[in-house]
Amino acid sequence: MPAQIAVGPIHHLRLTVTDVARSREFYTGLFGFQVAVESPPAGDPSAEAMYPILWGGVVMVSGNLLLGLRPVAPRDDRFDEDRVGLDHLSFGVAGRADLESAARLFDERGIPHGEIKRLDGFGIDILPFRDPDNIQIELTAPIS
């Protein structure tokens, strides 16, 4: 038996959100995720069977990453990276020019964001921002 488990890249992740339509628009409109699977509407014969899998949410895809949105958080709940669980999510981009382009897009769309920061020790530049539920996200580019 192996002493460790060899894992590959992240296959999927699911975020708990307060408003699935708002979050779906954020991730599809900003990052180009495509909806792969949606929860059936109430009254659909498959809705009850699908609920424990999709929780009334949606699964989207971008490249090899599946991103699920699970709309079960109370409307007034906000993400807090200082609680147990996720601290932040980072999407890779090709280079610093992509970070600069993203910052301009955020400004055009009124999405608050931090400054591009260089983390020399890690060989990356990052651009932090937040999704509609305050989940901290970063875009990360290798220093070239």
30 is a domain residue? yes
Average pLDDT, rounded, for the chain: 92
Q: Are residues 101 and 137 in the same domain?
A: yes
CA gyration radius, the chain: 17
Residues 6+ apart with CB under 8 A from 118: 124, 125, 143
How does pLDDT run across 67-91, given as a tens digit for each residue? 999 988 888 998 888 887 889 999 9
Q: Give the global pTM.
A: 0.87
The answer to whether 77 touches 70, Cβ cutoff 8 Å, is: no
Residues 6+ apart with CB under 8 A from 2: none
Nearest to 14 by CA among 48, 47, 37: 37
Question: For residues 65 and 3, which has the higher predicted lDDT (pLDDT)?
Answer: 65
80 is a domain residue? no
Q: Which CATH number fits the domain that encloses residue 116?
A: 3.10.180.10
141 is a domain residue? yes
- Helices assigned H by DSSP within the chain: 20-31, 47-54, 96-109
pLDDT band for position 142 (cuts 50, 70, 90)? very high
**Residues linked to residue 70 through DSSP beta bridges, in sequence order:** 16
120 is a domain residue? yes
Q: Are residues 12 and 69 in the same domain?
A: yes
The answer to whether residue 103 scores a pLDDT higher than 90 is yes
Please tell me the total count of domains within the chain.
Answer: 2
Instruction: Print the domain residue range for 134.
Output: 87-144
How does pLDDT run across 49-61, given as a tens digit for each residue? 888 888 889 999 9
